[in-house]
């Protein structure tokens, strides 16, 4: 079995009960959300709407958890907390960039998993 560095196959199979069609649907949904989330993160940060940024991070946390991207779920949990509190604003850009980078790498791993299983 192939090893992946950004996705948790056990989590994906738990959520989907091993249903390959459901996994494909979840991955497609996530793929469509990535550019929308990235744009919204940038816009909310640029407008200093940190409460909304925290709420969006909460939403993203759920989406990335469903497709087994645990590291990114943890990052979005951190962004959610600090943005809602309005603290550590110097960390927001790093966490936003982390979403953009890891989500694309994880998407490639998810597609690979679907193709090979």
Q: Which of 8-12, 46-50, 105-109 has the lowest mean pLDDT?
A: 8-12
Give the pLDDT of residue 2.
78
Distance CA 23, CA 51 (A): 32
| DSSP letter assigned to residue 91 | G
Mean pLDDT to the nearest integer, 12-30:
93
Confidence category of residue 103, pLDDT binned at 50, 70, 90: very high
Is 4 within a domain? no
pLDDT digits (tens, 9 = 90+) for 45-95: 999 999 999 999 999 999 999 999 999 999 999 999 999 999 999 999 999
Is 28 within a domain? yes
pLDDT digits (tens, 9 = 90+) for 11-20: 998 999 989 9
Q: What is the dihedral of CA 100, 103, 104, 108, to 10 degrees?
A: 170
Domain total of the chain: 1
- Domain containing 31 equals 9-116
Assign residue 33 the CATH number of its domain.
Answer: 1.20.120
For the chain, how are helix, strand and coil distributed in percent, rounded to 5?
Answer: 80, 0, 20
pLDDT at 1 over 70: no
Distance CA 50, CA 72 (A): 19
């Amino acid at each position: 079995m192939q090893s992946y560095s950004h996705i948790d196959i056990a989590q994906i199979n738990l959520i989907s009960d091993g249903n390959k069609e459901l996994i494909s649907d979840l991955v497609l949904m996530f793929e469509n959300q990535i550019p929308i989330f990235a744009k919204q993160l940038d816009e909310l940060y640029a407008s200093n709407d940190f409460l909304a940024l925290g709420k969006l991070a909460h939403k993203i946390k759920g989406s990335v958890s469903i497709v087994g991207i645990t590291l990114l779920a943890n990052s979005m949990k951190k962004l959610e907390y600090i943005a809602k509190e309005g603290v550590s604003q110097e960390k927001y850009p790093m966490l936003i960039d982390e979403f953009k980078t890891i989500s694309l790498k994880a998407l490639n791993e998810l597609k690979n998993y679907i193709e090979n299983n």
